[in-house]
Amino acid sequence: MVINYEEVLKQDIGYFQNELNLDWATRKGEAFQLLNYITKQFNNITIIDAGTHYGWSAYALSKSTSNRVITYDITDQFDNKYLKALPNVEVKILDINQEDLSIIHSAEVIYLDIDPHDGIQEKVFTDILQRFEWQGYLFCDDIHINEGMKSWWNSITLNKYDLTEIGHTHGTGLITYNREAVIVK
């Protein structure tokens, strides 16, 4: 996978404003341009969005309709009629750590954005991926939001990349599991 900063920043995410009436989503410091870019790098893969919340990340990840997006949250706390209407998105009310490992193994890309951002849940999840020899790209949100998240991020020994400059203001990271990534700034 190649992540080209210039190409990420060129991503048109006007659909957040036009389709969803969310002006804030297009401002600098949100990760939606990066997510839009990521989904376009693949065809016919499964992408997991761990931490649905209002569904905006899953919505951005679903823009390449050849990809299947499975989004998880422990509570149904969103009312996103646009997301629920997309044929390539499946919403699961389930703790991602309780999911069948065969489904996780089928994913090429995972976007990890689970609450509360404490570094503890993130460690549990990344340890599971490593223990079961998952192969893919794990994008992580809010890696710099607090001391718990910073400590967790700093403890990662796999290949990792800080993409905050083109991601979320509170930090966006990429961890590669048995995959290569090329970052072009």
CA 11, CA 167: separation in Å to the nearest integer?
12
* pLDDT 10s digits, 90-99: 988 888 888 8
Q: Compare 158 and 20 and report the one with higher pLDDT.
A: 158
Domain ranges of the chain: 28-184
Q: pLDDT grade, residue 164 (50/70/90)?
A: very high
- Whether 141 has a pLDDT exceeding 70, the answer reads yes
For residue 144 the two structure tokens come to 């710099």
Give me the residue label for tokens 């499975």: 70
Going by CATH, does the domain composed of 28-184 fall within 3.40.50.150? yes
Strand pairing class (172-177; 136-141): antiparallel
Please give the model's pTM, rounded to 2 decimal places.
0.91
- The percent of residues in the chain predicted with pLDDT above 90, rounded, is 63
Closest CA to 68 of 32, 92, 95, 33: 92
Q: Identify the CA nearest to 138 among candidates 159, 154, 166.
A: 159
